DNA sequence: CTGTTAGCGCATTCAC
DNA sequence: GTGAATGCGCTAACAG
């Protein structure tokens, strides 16, 4: 009986915490109008030193922070960017995400993430949904068909792609120069003396995969035969595809990415196949681990964080922050060959390697 | 002259895209009231089949999606969770994040991420900021002092910690049983015959570090000496601390985490120190790579995604979704020892180490 | 310089 | 069942 009222309260505010202060509370506390509080906080109009101090004190006392949803509603902008990634667990995308986040932070923007779980079909909806929360969306390595991407660009205000250019470069994008990177790998292997190589294909719908194929076609010929092996984009895929790669009789295996190569390496180890003695192996991306692995992976260096940052800049310069801006620029990030320990001349080439090396 | 009006329009909407449809547009299009549109979309009240169809058609025609900011403002809830991580690039946190994201998605919640860049001082602000955007915040491995955490819990409506329990378990948390995990590692090493081991310490302020220390104290004694080596939580830290660990003369090195062990392994390789022949090495967490590395790492398995999912559940059951709920529960996730190839009996037990190994 | 007013887009009372 | 009005928290436009 003595505590009925109190009980009702407890039931109402779960956790028994005080309701959040609004700008009106602050205004009351400082004995000014809400508009003055707003002016102090946003700094849009000058306010007398006296009032400013009173407002600041009240803000601190109440621990007030403006409600971004309300601000967004009014301004028509949320001060947030969305990022759609196939898999945050993939170190590649984690780095890109970090790049966007860091850059966004400098402009005081939040980052929202959607993980599509490698399901290409989920990309469209994820981007659309994020676009309602954020002022723009960064789409990482989207697998969706060209047509869908074009439609999406219509519906999402500030769409930026990473590693994908839409038809005619209509949507701003930052892409790695996969073609040059792949060409570099091919040249490197050929110079080492490899004549039969296997390529572990990435997802068929990936734009970067098509760019790689162009390089492969250009490099292949009678003295440089390329065997295509279906694989995928995860290290598990690499692990699974390793046997098929070996079965082609190739002396070198080019993986879709470092992440894939990781799995290949593990499988080769299980099989007792030594890299690079028995077969050479290359990756792509140069993730942090590739230098920590043994053998250290020959790969193509790509600055992942930079990719994210460039994507942010594209977003920013497309008018997402200040208003109008250019649109449809495509930025190409360079890809540099990093020669390490996982590639060597093919076993039969010049000197037979000392057989004693193993065990 | 003939195009002045048009030019004004272009200037207004950058990118020349049609303004986003509001609920009023839909209502007009369907020739109903906004309230009816709302009822159809939220499904709160019954609407006649005829009107419902008209509304749905209009929605599709206009590609209308409700503005979550406006909804949030009205409902006082945003349908989003914030996640604060020290580093998304760290595969451990990437997995936890994935766990939260996946679980949240099932309840139709968005995920917001803040990366503090391993700076403990940034945690408080990041969480506070996120709390204005989201209905709650998941704090991963916060390094902030106890006092600060307590204050933060006061200011953030639905705060959940991962791998950190506040004083008295006031804030809901899901924590790995670090103590049991460390104890398991110690027992394993001792059974192998190790008597002098080095431990690569994590960040001093990390709660998990203190839990590990408890296990270490309990395990150490005259026949199991533990040398503490300052290190850190990244693989780069491990790379740097490897020499010092060796200098202690220990026969086994326990790393703060798998991620750290990665760096140690690389450094040992550079030094010509063989694992586990010259020295044994253990990790903690069992990240995906630990099974792909050679030697495969002996470690303690922790389900990272599960951690994230459990954190979400704690958030959900704390009334963030439906209203009132319990508060302050602490869930402990088990930690299972995984014995792989990086640990073996100490060399001295049977054969002495070749002094030539260290140049 | 400051206070008052209106309205961002939406869900939710109320009347009908 | 349905439509008209109200207000969530905030800032931009006005008035003073």
**Which tens digits make up the pLDDT trace of B259-291?**
999 999 999 999 999 999 999 999 999 998 898
Instruction: Say whether pTM exceeds 0.85.
Output: yes
| DSSP code for B121 | G
What pLDDT band is residue B358 in, cutting at 50, 70 and 90? Answer: very low
2.40.30.20, 3.40.50.2300, 1.20.210.10, 3.40.50.300: which CATH number matches A80-171+304-333? 3.40.50.2300
Contact call for A111 and B113, based on CB within 8 A: yes
Q: Which of A175, A208, A174, A177 is nearest to A311 (CA)?
A: A174
More confident residue, B75 or A225: A225
CA distances from B73 to A10, A77, A261, A343 (A): 23, 15, 48, 58
Chain A nearest-CA residue for B12: A324
Token readout for A144 is 């969706």
The number of helix segments (H) and strand segments (E) in chain A equals: 13, 12
CB B241 within 8 A of CB B281: no
Decide: residue B279, CB within 10 A, 0-12 exposed, 13-18 middle, 19+ buried: buried
CB A96 within 8 A of CB A304: yes
CA of A324 to C1' of C1 (A): 32
| Three-state DSSP string of B147-201 | HHHHHHHHHCCCEEEECCCCHHHCCCEEEECHHHHHHHHHHHHHHHCCCEEEEEE
Token readout for A181 is 């990177």
Considering only CA atoms, name the residue closest to the C1' of nucleotide D7.
Answer: B74
- Residue that has been written with the tokens 């329990």 in this structure: B165
Instruction: Give the mutation candidate from B289, B296, B306 for the A interface (greatest A CB count, under 10 A).
Output: B289
- Residue that has been written with the tokens 């190409």 in this structure: A332
CB A215 within 8 A of CB A248: no
Written as one string, the DSSP assignment of A131-168 is HHHSSEEEEES--S-HHHHHHHHHHSTTEEEES---GG
Within 10 angstroms of residue B346's Cβ, the number of other Cβ atoms is: 21
Q: Determine phi and psi for A230, rounding to 5 degrees.
A: -60, 140
What three-state secondary structure class fits A228?
Answer: strand
CA distances from A188 to A340, B75, B250 (A): 11, 60, 43
With a 7 Å cutoff on the CB, does B34 touch strand C? yes
Per DSSP, which regions of A72-118 are E strands? 80-85, 110-115
Considering only CA atoms, name the residue closest to the C1' of nucleotide D9.
Answer: A70
Which residues on neighbouring strands pair with residue B254, listed in sequence order? B199, B282
Dist CA A251 CA A198 (whole Å): 8
CA of A35 to C1' of D12 (A): 10
State the Cα torsion B320-B112-B83-B285 to the nearest 10°: 120
Contact call for B65 and A132, based on CB within 8 A: yes
CB A189 within 8 A of CB A197: yes
Size of interface A-B (CB pairs under 8 A): 148
Q: Which of A72, A154, A319 sits opposite B69 (nearest CB)?
A: A72
- The class (CATH top level) of A23-66 is mainly alpha
What three-state secondary structure class fits A53?
Answer: helix
Contact call for A112 and B115, based on CB within 8 A: no
- Residue that has been written with the tokens 């004190």 in this structure: A57
What pLDDT band is residue B197 in, cutting at 50, 70 and 90? Answer: very high
CB A161 within 8 A of CB A127: no
**Which tens digits make up the pLDDT trace of A298-328?**
999 999 999 999 999 999 988 677 766 666 7
Decide: residue B11, CB within 10 A, 0-12 exposed, 13-18 middle, 19+ buried: exposed
Topology at the third CATH level for domain B178-298: Rossmann fold (3.40.50)
Instruction: Return the pLDDT at A283.
Output: 98
Instruction: Return the pLDDT at B287.
Output: 92
Antiparallel, parallel or unpaired: β A173-176 and A110-115 = unpaired
What three-state secondary structure class fits B16?
Answer: coil
Write out chain A residues lying below 8 Å of B62, CB-based. none
The radius of gyration of chain A from alpha carbons, rounded to an integer in Å, stands at 27
CA of A55 to C1' of C4 (A): 19
Chain A nearest-CA residue for B94: A89
Q: Which of B112, B263, B318 sits opposite A112 (nearest CB)?
A: B112
CA of A102 to C1' of D12 (A): 31
Instruction: Return the pLDDT at B291.
Output: 87
CB B34 within 8 A of CB B23: yes
**Which tens digits make up the pLDDT trace of A323-354?**
666 667 899 999 999 999 999 999 876 543 34
With a 7 Å cutoff on the CB, does B147 touch strand C? no
- Residue that has been written with the tokens 């955490």 in this structure: B149
**Which tens digits make up the pLDDT trace of B215-261?**
999 999 999 999 999 999 998 999 999 999 999 999 999 999 999 99
Dist CA A248 CA A226 (whole Å): 10
Dist CA B234 CA B86 (whole Å): 11
* Domain-wise residue ranges, chain B: 23-66, 80-171+304-333, 178-298
Instruction: Give the mutation candidate from A20, A112, A151 for the B interface (greatest B CB count, under 10 A).
Output: A112
What average pLDDT does chain A have? Answer: 89
Q: Which residues of chain A have pLDDT under 70?
A: 1-18, 319, 323-327, 349-359
Does the fold of domain B178-298 match that of domain B23-66? Answer: no
With a 7 Å cutoff on the CB, does A73 touch strand C? yes
What pLDDT band is residue B325 in, cutting at 50, 70 and 90? Answer: low
Instruction: Return the pLDDT at A292.
Output: 83
Write out chain A residues lying below 8 Å of B76, CB-based. none
């Amino acid at each position: 009986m003595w505590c009925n009222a109190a009980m009702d309260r407890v039931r109402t505010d779960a956790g028994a915490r005080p309701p959040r202060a609004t700008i009106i509370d602050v205004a009351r506390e400082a004995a000014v109008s809400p508009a003055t509080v707003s002016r102090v906080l946003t700094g849009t109009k000058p306010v007398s030193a006296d009032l400013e101090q009173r407002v600041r004190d009240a803000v601190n006392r109440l621990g007030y922070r403006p409600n971004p949803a309300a601000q967004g509603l009014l301004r028509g902008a949320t001060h947030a960017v969305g990022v759609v990634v196939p898999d945050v667990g993939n170190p590649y995308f984690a780095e890109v995400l970090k790049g966007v986040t860091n850059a966004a932070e400098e402009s005081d923007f939040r980052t929202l993430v959607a993980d599509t779980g490698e399901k290409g079909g989920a990309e469209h909806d994820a981007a659309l949904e994020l676009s309602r929360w954020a002022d723009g969306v960064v789409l990482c390595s989207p697998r969706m068909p060209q047509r869908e991407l074009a439609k999406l660009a219509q519906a999402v205000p500030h769409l930026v792609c990473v590693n994908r250019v839409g038809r005619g470069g209509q949507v701003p994008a930052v892409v790695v120069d996969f073609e040059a990177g792949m060409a570099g790998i091919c040249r490197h292997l050929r110079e080492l003396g490899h004549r039969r190589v296997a390529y572990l294909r990435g997802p068929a719908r990936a734009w970067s995969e098509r760019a790689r194929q162009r390089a492969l076609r250009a490099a292949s010929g009678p003295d440089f035969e390329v065997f295509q092996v279906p694989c995928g984009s995860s290290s598990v895929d690499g692990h699974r595809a390793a046997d098929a790669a070996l079965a082609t009789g190739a002396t070198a295996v080019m993986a879709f990415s470092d992440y894939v190569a990781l799995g290949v390496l593990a499988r080769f180890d299980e099989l007792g196949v030594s890299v690079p003695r028995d077969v050479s192996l290359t990756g792509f991306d140069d993730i942090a681990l590739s230098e920590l692995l043994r053998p250290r992976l020959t790969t193509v260096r790509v600055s992942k964080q930079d990719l994210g940052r460039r994507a942010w800049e594209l977003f920013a310069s497309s008018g997402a922050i200040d208003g109008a801006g250019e649109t449809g620029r495509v930025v190409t990030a360079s890809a540099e060959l990093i020669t390490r320990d996982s590639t060597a001349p093919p076993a039969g080439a010049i000197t037979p390697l000392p057989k004693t090396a193993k065990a």
